[in-house]
Amino acid sequence: MTLNNIAQTSLSIQSSSVYEYSLTVVNPENNDTQDLNAAFRSIPTSTDWQQWLDGWTDTGYELHSQPQLLQIF
């Protein structure tokens, strides 16, 4: 799954909002999956997602499911 795909959204930008997403990462070495939530102060770009996922990818995990927007608050 590419980060370009997960950064696209059709939502209008709202100031002072928090965008909360749900996603799953998997470690293919041991088939361990983790269901995660990510929050951003604006609609995340590919760079935002890359920075957020760096800690997981550094430990052998990779994105398993495209993030789904849960809520904007």
- pLDDT confidence bin for 16, thresholds 50/70/90: confident
Entry pTM: 0.77
pLDDT digits (tens, 9 = 90+) for 18-30: 999 999 999 999 9
Rounded to whole angstroms, the Cα distance separating 73 from 59 reads: 31
Joined together, the tokens standing for residue 61 give 């995990």
User: Can you point out the beta strands (E) in 1-73?
Assistant: 19-27, 32-40, 62-72
Instruction: Return the H-helix or E-strand segment holding 4.
Output: helix 3-7
